[in-house]
Structure 1
Amino acid sequence: MHVRTLCLGALALGDASGYEIKKLFEDGVFSHFSEASFGSIYPALTKLTDDGLLTCQAHSQEGRPDKKVYSLTDLGRAAFQEALSQPIQADKYRSDFLFCLIFANQMPTLRVSEILDNKLKELKEEHNRIEAEGIVPNTPSSDLVKEFGAHVTLSMIEFLEENRLRIEALGCETGACLSTPCEAVG
């Protein structure tokens, strides 16, 4: 999704600074959906403001630069509704873990077990985080999205646990391995 739409969506939840918007995508409610960097957020906010879709007010802070707080205008709300009516791009799922599993036959069985353990730990932590976090706004649609995320992570955990022996059997004996790829994974 275009960063302009992401910013409009963040501001549909309420007024926010660029930093607060970034935090939504970094470790907040939007962290599960998309990435947006400071390098893309601030130019988008400037352009949206120039186009009349946002207003920007400077709030003074003691001993710090003014905090710019952005708000949606009526034109911005209309632009966000228009963006939501457009066709949705297919989701892209990328996984270093799955890439490494392709080469499990080139890794010692112990390494396959290690990356499997690490992935399961990561997924369980993610599942617990999803279950524990409150979503803003707290609406039936946001509750459904939270439930979807919890279900997806739980399904991944169940699949890996149910297929653990099969996955580990892909590994090779230490002397028969060509190399140990994917050292950075896990």
Structure 2
Amino acid sequence: MNTQDVILGLLCKEPRSGYDIKQHFEQYFSFFFDASYGTIYPTLTKMEGLELITKESIRQEGKPDKNVYTVTEKGKEHFREYLERAAEPELLRSDFLMHLYFGDMADPEAMNGIIRRALEEKKRMYDDLEDKYRKLDSVTGPYQKLCMELGLVQYKAFIVKLEEMLGKSGD
């Protein structure tokens, strides 16, 4: 999975500006995929060069022109091919898990602090995602709902295990 494929998927649903794409990343994908403006806009430029998308500049009064991107037939075909390929194996990169792995070499109080902060962050992320999940509308498909449900399950598992660990350490 790469940023290009994710953007194509969004544009297959509806035309969007770069800003709209970034907002969707933040609102719906933040727990499993991220992309900055510094990634999104160069990717859009590349996709336009590959004729996967087109760009339309829309004049706005008192503001810079708004560029709206639309997927082409070639882009739709490219995205269909992506969807029909087997998913790549997942690679979880986590600085927190590296801290835990080597935690026996650190001061126990420092590790408890790291775990407490991670626990609070996971709780916040769980609450944010749960709030977004509750606000889903009736047009949200079953696969989009499943993505969010899987995210909630992952956050909950982290929370349970971190609380268990803190309970064992007497914290």
User: What do residues 6-26 of structure 1 show as CA deviations (whole Å, max 9, x unaligned)?
Assistant: 21012123211112212322x
1:5 pairs with 2:9: no
Deviation at 1:146, TM superposition (A): 0.9
More helix by share: 2
> Can you give the 5+ residue segments of structure 2 that lack an aligned partner in the other structure?
none
In 2, distance between residues paired with 1:151 and 1:63? 45
Amino acid at match of 2:156: L
Look up the match of 1:115: 114
Q: What are the superposed Cα offsets for residues 73-98 of structure 1, whole Å, 9 maximum, x if unpaired?
A: 23222211111112322112122222
In the alignment, the residues of structure 1 paired with residue 29 and residue 136 of structure 2 have an alpha-carbon distance, to the nearest angstrom, of: 9
Aligned pairs (5 A) from 1:75-94? 75-94=74-93
Amino acid at match of 1:60: R
Any unmatched runs of 5+ in structure 1? 170-186
How far has the Cα of 1:36 moved from its partner? 2.1
Secondary structure (helix, strand or coil) at the match of 2:67 reads strand
Conserved? CA contact 1:11–1:71, under 8 Å: yes
The one of 131, 142, 145 aligned to 1:143: 145
Q: 1:165 Cα shift? A: 4.4
- Does the 8 A contact of 1:135 with 1:146 survive in 2? no
Query: Structure 2 matches for 1:22-37, cutoff 5 A?
Result: 22-25=22-25, 27-37=26-36
Q: CA RMSD in A?
A: 2.1
State the 1:139 CA deviation: 1.0
Give CA-to-partner distance per residue, 1:47-68, whole Å, 9 cap, x none: 3223332221111122322110
- 1:135, CA displacement in angstroms? 5.0
Task: Tell me the TM-score normalized by structure 2.
Answer: 0.86
- Aligned to 1:94, the other structure's residue is in SS state coil
Which entry has the higher C-alpha Rg, 1 or 2? Answer: 1
Q: Which has the higher contact order (CA 8 A, sep 6+)?
A: 1
Cα pair 1:56 1:69 within 8 Å, conserved: yes
- How many residue pairs get matched? 167
Letter in 2 for 1:156: F
**Aligned pair 1:163/2:162, yes or no?**
no
Hey, what does 1:44 align to over in structure 2?
43
1:56 aligns with 2:46: no
Q: Which amino acid aligns with 2:24?
A: L
| Identity of matched residues, % | 34
